[in-house]
Structure 1
Amino acid sequence: MNRKAAFLLGILASCALPQVTFAKHSIGESSHYQQDVEGKELIGRWDIEVDINGTPAPSWLEVKLSGYRTLVGHYVSTSGSARPVSQVFYEKGKFRFAIPPQWEGGKMNLSVEGEIVNGVLQGTITEPDGKTYRFKGVRAPELKRTAAVKWGKPIQLFNGKDLSGWKATGKTNQWVVKNGILTSPQSGSNLVSEQKFEDFKLHVEFKIPAGSNSGVYLRGRYEVQIEDSPKDAHPNAVLFAGVYGFLAANEMVNKGAGEWQTYDITLVGRLVTVVANGKTVISNQEIPGITGGALDSKEAEPGPIYFQGDHGPVEFRKVIITPAIK
């Protein structure tokens, strides 16, 4: 071998690729670590009912595994939006976590502690004002649909004349019908349909004044936000056309205060599509759980349509629902 050939072989040897060592853990082994984590029985979604001085109030919790052993989650209190839980601590069969206050009064953290007894989540919630309430929770249903949806005939939920088929939830009913328009002139009671529905397509036409806020609740549990959001605002889950606290619209399509606007919403199981002012802004996305202001946390049951009337003035002129048939 001449000197030139030996030199070239030396260069090739020095440039050889290093041996690649692959990780021992495969993607499919994540379930193995979940089996070993302490508090694994908490993992999942929970529909919660809080006893507030004898009156049931809905709440919701999701617990997830982050990495090998850390439990994290999201929590919906009896008011406000879904909030992240940075860590759920578990020791000797009991769990606890705390989150900063949101809309509640008081300066303390909201704290939750409890355990699972015979498959039921139970414990106490201490609000930022220091008041403590007991709760119970059951595992939330998946609400998966296996058969293709068949649609029935459209139903006019609002007849354009009066409040037939609707009921106010508060002590004072501010809702009136003027010139064929369903109107809430100021903050007051929410308005709930007497009929209940499971899967459906819903068409609503609405208008709000500057700075106002309302919402359309699907099955009485999942709010699609109506708000006078700035037209140049980056969409998020608490602004116009978002599913409150969970799903953001992919585009801000609010026409602005004083303009008639439309939502066409399809809800099948947990999957929702929102078409706002003719544009699809949420497409077949899963709603994880109830939103703040829900009537109850009984997600397995049919529920009504309800309009939020306790946040500001709002008007509706068409409310048409097409239920799925079995």
Structure 2
Amino acid sequence: MRQKFLVLGFIALLTFGFVNTLFAMKYIPADSARQDAGKNDLIGRWDISMDENGKTVPSWLEVKLSGNRTLTGYFVGVSGSARPIAKVNFNDGKFNFTIPPQWEPGERDFIIEGELSGAEIHGTLVNSEGKKYNWKGVKAPYLKRTGLLVWDKPIALFNGKDLTGWKALGKNQWVVKNGVLTSPHSGANLISEQKFTDFKLHVEFKYQKGSNSGVYLRGRYEVQIEDSSKDAHPSSVLFSGIYGYLSPSEIAALGPDQWQSFDIMIVGRMVTVIANGKTVISNQEIPGITGGALDSNEGEPGPVYIQGDHGPIEFRKIVITPIK
């Protein structure tokens, strides 16, 4: 009889444990599973369009998983470089985070709030001056390329005579002197009328001491031109860096008042930069748009765009070889 009670007791314990396990599987992980699914939907890169008083301006967000539960990321606004996000708070499909101002006026942290809506996100941004804007975003394309590269014929974007094939964003200060495309002072940026997808680009340029410019690929990704010291530690915001993302292996600048060159190849998101004959970035991925981008439509062709609002700059050759 005693053995019978022991057996029955053992069966009861097993049954109780099994029921508890089923209960836990049914109720405890359910919310957690939904939360994890939501996090997984948010993780990734997002191309964002923001409404600034009726004008559409580009932005970009990346959300990453740090460890097994914390979301972090990077954010690119209308200006400046990619800014790290210490923590993205996420709950029931909604998220928020803050970032400090960079080049913007005002002392407040930016407050970004959003929510998942199918394959899109949307929300609001309150900037460092307290102004509030609406935005919406879609998943950024991978831009993976397959197959052999076949190049078309080179195209001289600058003809050495005038601004044919270019347009200025704003009041134009660009002139052509002795076959040189010149921006004598800060003013409008210059944009090619033709748009391109994948290409090789050769540019020859000269800057004055302390000046700053850049060449934007597809109008979205800036290769930095700046009077950087050769002894400076390589940085993404210095000479030949992909602004805010990719640092060159060295500062291969020749210094101010010297003709210098970039040879750049971009295929999908992969970029190579050769500065004055030295490969300083070799087939590295550009994660997203840089500050100053014309738009966030990363899957579309875009122009070559030259920064003219950061000081004097000269170009004597701009040649592009598109992919067939």
TM-score where L is the length of structure 1:
0.88
**Residues 297-312 of structure 1 aligned to structure 2 (within 5 Å):** 297-312=296-311
Unmatched segments (≥5 aa) in structure 2: 1-32
Equivalent position SS for 2:229: coil
Q: Distance in 1 between matches of 2:192 and 2:276?
A: 24
Q: Distance in 2 between matches of 1:287 and 1:221?
A: 10
Shift of 1:37: 6.3
Q: Distance in 2 between matches of 1:302 and 1:35?
A: 37
Count of residues paired in the alignment: 292
Equivalent position SS for 1:114: strand
- Matching residue of 1:230: 229
- Matching residue of 2:167: 167
Shift of 1:142: 0.2
In the alignment, is the contact (CA less than 8 A) between 2:38 and 2:92 conserved in 1?
Answer: no
| 1:231-250 Cα distance to aligned partner (Å, 9 max, x none) | 21001000000000000000
- Matching residue of 2:81: 81
- Matching residue of 1:187: 186
- Matching residue of 2:121: 121
- Matching residue of 2:90: 90
- Matching residue of 2:266: 267
Unmatched segments (≥5 aa) in structure 1: 1-32
| 1:262-308 Cα distance to aligned partner (Å, 9 max, x none) | 00000000000000000000000000000000000000000000000
- Matching residue of 1:47: 47
Q: Distance in 2 between matches of 1:243 and 1:234?
A: 15
Q: Distance in 1 between matches of 2:116 and 2:95?
A: 9
Stretches of 4+ aligned residues off by more than 4 angstroms: none
Q: Distance in 1 between matches of 2:116 and 2:127?
A: 21
Q: Distance in 2 between matches of 1:273 and 1:162?
A: 30
More helix per residue: 1 or 2?
2
Shift of 1:260: 0.4
- Matching residue of 2:204: 205
- Matching residue of 1:11: none
Identity of aligned residues (%): 66
Equivalent position SS for 2:143: coil
Q: Does 1:137 align with 2:124?
A: no
Shift of 1:116: 1.3
| 1:37-87 Cα distance to aligned partner (Å, 9 max, x none) | 652211000000000000000000000111111001010011100011011
In the alignment, is the contact (CA less than 8 A) between 2:35 and 2:91 conserved in 1?
Answer: no
- Matching residue of 1:64: 64
Q: Distance in 1 between matches of 2:38 and 2:56?
A: 31
Bigger mean CA deviation after superposition, 173-182 or 86-95:
86-95
In the alignment, is the contact (CA less than 8 A) between 2:82 and 2:290 conserved in 1?
Answer: yes
Shift of 1:92: 2.4
Shift of 1:120: 1.4
In the alignment, is the contact (CA less than 8 A) between 2:59 and 2:77 conserved in 1?
Answer: yes
Give the direction of change, closer, same or farther, for the CA distance of 1:37–1:117 in structure 2 (3 Å limit).
closer
In the alignment, is the contact (CA less than 8 A) between 1:37 and 1:68 conserved in 2?
Answer: no
Q: Distance in 1 between matches of 2:199 and 2:109?
A: 39
- Matching residue of 1:9: none
**Residues 18-57 of structure 1 aligned to structure 2 (within 5 Å):** 36=36, 39-57=39-57
In the alignment, is the contact (CA less than 8 A) between 1:216 and 1:306 conserved in 2?
Answer: yes
In the alignment, is the contact (CA less than 8 A) between 1:193 and 1:306 conserved in 2?
Answer: yes
Q: Distance in 2 between matches of 1:58 and 1:160?
A: 32
Shift of 1:107: 0.4
TM-score where L is the length of structure 2:
0.89
Bigger mean CA deviation after superposition, 72-81 or 113-122:
113-122
The aligned amino acid for 2:319 is I
In the alignment, is the contact (CA less than 8 A) between 2:192 and 2:303 conserved in 1?
Answer: yes
